[in-house]
Chain A
Amino acid sequence: MEKSSRIKGAESVLNLEPNSSIAIGYHGLFGSHDDTMLLEIDEKLLPDILHQRVTLRGQPDEDSVLCTRSKTYAIKFVGTSNSPLLIPPSGQFALCESSQDFDGGVHDFAPVIKVAHGNMELVEVAPKLDKLKLLLSENPYSYEDVLEMDFMEDVEKNKARLYNWDDLVERVQASDEELRSGLRALSAVEIDGFWRIVDEKYMDMILRMLLHNSVLNDWSLDALNEDDVVSVLVSDGFPDKLAYHCLHVYGSKVDGDVGRSCVWKLDERRVCVHFARQILSTEKKKMETFMAEWLQRIPGGMQASFDMLEGEVLMEKLGIETWVYAFSVSSLPLTPAERFNMLFRERSKWEWKDLQPYLRDLNVPGLSSEGLLLKYTRRAQPTSEAEPVFSSR
């Protein structure tokens, strides 16, 4: 009998019959095999991984994350003081059979390819979307972009600061779904293949032009004909992509269409918030001044109310006067530690009704909003009837 015929593998170890034995020894290719590693995964992720729907993402200076289609996981290495001996199935690490000469005597022999001193584990984490905001804020789409459309060389020159989908996937540690919803949350739009956020002043120009035309043409803000809106805005010099974008940002599609065109309804809250932000974009205002200016800018048929501005505007008392100023949740980091840091830099004490609008978009896997508060705030409640007050930990 040939000695080589007794070289077995994992299957012989796993299916060892009772009252039988097998020699365990070093494989002809035994070594540290640093390029081979173990990853512990949840059974439910197995199909995603085996069917190639998973990638590792990260720049060289970042810790890699593992992304499925919808989720992001941090990768942790967990060491062990034990010695797990890894035995591959026979035939997986091809050996030159004739060179086999083990000291195992007459028994079957299962070769160990490597000792695994630990394995990687996955921990679900929030996607790193602050970086997405940072990248897109480098070069927001503005009126200059429209002017530059006639000079293609300038556009070419600017491309260095623009990102298409693949560029974002390369740079942002988030799953495809999380990246898409991150782009939606930033009201980003794909223009000429590049994802852009649009400068707020430019959005203001388009929105005011849309409202102006609605008055001129006697359109209802609850039933705007998409084709009419887009063609009017295009004739006013706005790219059609931006005209559609304006409808998406400030409105929503409604059922029922006129011919083949979609019908849109402007969203009262989003339109009102937009004008409040515009008014407060440069300075804080006395409450009465602000309210007067705001109500005057709101388009006819819409009702502004101050609660629309939670998460956008804060009030402060200076003497007997009440002032308001812009403090938008969308300008705050998405990482909880950094978010709370910014919040407590703004105010050292927060009442729950003021704080809550600045927290509800935070999504930390494995941590409830109660958990977030416990971790990052100190809660004080002078009497049982009093509102709790939160301060920095």
Chain B
Amino acid sequence: MQIRVKCSCGAEKCPEWAVVELQGTVELNASFQTHLQNLQIGQLCRLSSTSQESYTFTVGYHELTGSKVTLKKPLLVLKKVKGFMDVDQNDDNNKKDDLPSSKVELDVIGIIRHKILFKTRPKALISKPQPLVKERTRAAVHTVPN
């Protein structure tokens, strides 16, 4: 089967998304997990202008420092959507009956060219820790099944 990749924003107008990349896994206290929505993770601050764009990210009682990097290759944000079926289906029924008729498409809803990357481990601001960010490692490479 065939899945079309399209951009419904209209090519050049495809909007840029932002990425703030933190080391480790973002973890929350159990009490928050049921209602994350609108909860603040941290405060992003751009430092006074230097040649390189530097940032701090303050998470709970920790401060991270990082910088804006341009990706070597852009990342596209793809969203799986159910495509619209053609209205004029009545004219030919010799189309492959053995294949599922639901038309899935991938819509390019954004493009990512930069990320604000925090490579440093969190530096405690005050001694009583209540970290939202913890170090974690994860499996690295596997293939996507269809």
Report A's interface with B, CB cutoff 8 A: 9-11, 13-14, 16-30, 35-43, 46-47, 49-52, 54-64, 66, 75-89, 92, 100-104, 107, 109-112, 115-117, 119-120, 166-167, 169-170
Contact = CB atoms under 8 A, between A and B. Distances in A.
A38 B75 contact: yes
A352 to B, nearest CB: 36
A54 B5 contact: yes
A-B CB proximity, top 3 nearest: A10-B18, A21-B45, A13-B18
A25 B40 contact: yes
A58 B26 contact: no
Nearest to B145: A63
Nearest to B146: A64
A79 B138 contact: yes
Contact of A117 (B39, B49, B75, B138): B138
Given A20-B45, A56-B2, A170-B1, A110 B18 contact: yes
B41 A112 contact: yes
A24 B115 CA distance: 14
A154 to B, nearest CB: 17
A42 B74 CA distance: 7
Interface in B18-58: 18-26, 36-49, 55, 57
15 contacts: A13-B44, A23-B43, A24-B42, A26-B37, A29-B37, A38-B77, A39-B75, A52-B7, A55-B5, A80-B138, A85-B21, A85-B22, A85-B41, A101-B38, A170-B96
Nearest to A77: B144
A9 B6 CA distance: 23
Interface in B64-80: 71, 73-80
Nearest to B115: A84
A46 to B, nearest CB: 7
Nearest to B106: A56
Contacts, number: 232
B138 A18 contact: no
Given A24-B44, A82-B22, A13 B116 contact: yes
B144 A120 contact: yes
A226 B130 CA distance: 85
Contacts of A47: 11
B105 to A, nearest CB: 9
B67 to A, nearest CB: 12
B143 to A, nearest CB: 6
Given A51-B11, A79-B140, A170-B96, A38 B18 contact: no
A23 B139 CA distance: 30
Chain B interface size band reads 35 or more
Nearest to B10: A50
Contacts of A85: 19-22, 26, 41
B48 A35 contact: no
A170 B81 CA distance: 19
B128 interface: no
A28 B37 CA distance: 5
Nearest to A78: B141
Contact of B36 (A17, A26, A87, A104): A26
Interface string B96-112: 10010000001011101
Contacts of B146: 58-64
A181 to B, nearest CB: 19
Contacts of B133: 83
A26 B142 contact: no
B90 interface: no
Nearest to B104: A56
B127 interface: no
A62 B1 CA distance: 10
A13 B7 CA distance: 23
B43 A14 contact: no
A272 B145 CA distance: 47
B132 to A, nearest CB: 10
Nearest to B26: A83
B49 A10 contact: no
B74 A40 contact: yes
B112 A38 contact: yes
A54 B45 CA distance: 39
A50 B75 contact: no
